[in-house]
Amino acid sequence: MAKTSTQRTLSVYLYIPNIIGYMRIVLNCIAFAQCFSNRKLFSALYFISFVGDGIDGWFARKFNQVSTFGAVLDMVTDRVSTACLLVILSQFYRPGLIFLFLLALDIASHWLQMYSTFLSGKASHKDVKDSTNWLFKAYYGNRFFMAYCCVASEVIYIILFLLAENQSESVLVVLANNVSKISPLSFLVTLALFGWAIKQAINVIQMKTAADMCVLYDLNRKQ
């Protein structure tokens, strides 16, 4: 009986999407090890790891290998990698507190969402059908829209990382200078900034919605 249980546990760990998740972690470790010596290599490896987030989801649905462990692994990998990049950016730009605030918002929002999902008994943190906020429902209800916002956020951070030249630059000045220029980069920055802004709005909405759900759970339990 114990052997069968062990085999079942091992099979989940060896799901194709989870193996992709392990590969993403390895890529991120290599990327951050090279971030100060080879920025282009870091950016390439970091972005490939990020793309893997969409690929593992496709494999999970394709082979019916959706798992709670895989969802948690995915979220932890995303949050940790983004947090590390934001910490690095906080050392390159002023005010660095902006990036630390974004880091705190990102982690708090997703942690609360995941926790409230378990409290409500839902299978996925992306199940927001009962939400009254149209933007929140549109974000999780449309994979292409969500992918655009997530990619846009990471692209903005990668561009800022590649553009950083010293430790006294203003992030607002750097972004304004690049947006004002007529070039492919300015178009990419503008497009990414729009998606980034929506992503931050979603983080705020998500945090408030999840907090409300936690409070409602306590109220229902006391009745």
The two tokens of residue 203 are: 């983080």
Tell me if 52 sits within 8 A of 27, measured CB to CB: yes
Q: Helix, strand or coil for residue 94?
A: strand
Q: Does 53 participate in catalysis according to the annotation?
A: no
At 26, phi and psi to the nearest 5? -60, -45
* Alpha-carbon distances of 123 from 32, 67, 98, 210, rounded to whole Å: 33, 9, 34, 15
Residue bearing tokens 């890529």: 27
Q: Which of 78, 106, 127, 212 is catalytic?
A: 78
- Residues known to be catalytic: 78
